[in-house]
Structure 1
């Protein structure tokens, strides 16, 4: 799982502890196939549900959010308008996740 290595490297670079001993990576699933990025914009049900799940996972487990794994985009290649708007929408999504989760340096891994 290459993303796990990336999260661990990010953790080590942003933590006062260089130890990975005892570090547990958990995943909070929020995937919905066949969606377009605008459906994940702040205020949309998918975005709000993803943020709520992330917050609930932290509250229940006492951990922290280390990264967002973003595997989406094929549906945005169908229409030229969606494809050309994707970059700006993705940037806005990342900024919104960081703001709403209170993590200004949140790592976002996009595939």
Structure 2
């Protein structure tokens, strides 16, 4: 909610701001790949949000700390994240949707 409130505070002419929560704490980017339960659930929720006339204007991505625990995951993170973003834009049929990535507190190997 703090994100939505900040957006509204900086541009109240936007009207209503809806959020489609899909967060699952402690997950790795590899768990969000196309075809996974988490990915499919995200796409289903986003698709349901637009059926009632809503419009997806951006994606807020706040994930990655779990990928800093082991060096291999950290080294593969960038490529996995880029693939996730490409797949998500494709599957939502929003090829140029902005994705706002929130940095994690623990950058570890990244």
Per the normalisation by structure 2, the TM-score is: 0.81
2:15 equivalent in structure 1: 23
1:56 equivalent in structure 2: 48
How much does 1:23 deviate? 2.5
Structure 1 CA distance, aligned partners of 2:20 and 2:94?
16
- From 83, 100, 107, the equivalent of 2:74 is 83
Gaps of 5+ in 2: 103-110
- From 63, 67, 70, the equivalent of 2:58 is 67
Per the normalisation by structure 1, the TM-score is: 0.80
Structure 2 CA distance, aligned partners of 1:59 and 1:39?
26
RMSD: 1.9
Count of aligned pairs between the two proteins? 98
